[in-house]
Amino acid sequence: MGNLEQYRQLICSILTEHTKIPYSYGNIQHETIFDREQDRYLVMILGREPVPELSPTATRRVHGCLIHIDIIDGKIWIQRDGTEEGVATELVRAGVPKDRIVLGFRSEELRKDSEYAVA
Question: What's the CATH number where 37 sits?
Answer: 3.30.310.110
CA-CA distance, 107 to 102, in Å (whole number)?
11
Does residue 106 lie within any of the structural domains? Answer: yes
- The pTM score is 0.90
Task: Map residue 59 onto helix, strand or coil.
Answer: strand
Tens digit of pLDDT per residue, the chain (119 long)? 669 999 999 999 999 999 998 887 778 999 999 999 999 999 999 999 999 999 999 999 999 999 999 999 999 999 999 999 999 999 999 999 999 999 999 888 888 888 999 99
Long-range contacts of 80-84 (CB under 8 A, 24+ apart): 80/105, 81/105, 83/18
Domain count, the chain: 1
Does residue 117 lie within any of the structural domains? Answer: no
> Are 80 and 65 within 8 A, CB to CB?
yes
CA-CA distance, 60 to 39, in Å (whole number)?
32
> Are 102 and 117 within 8 A, CB to CB?
yes
- Domain range for 10: 4-112
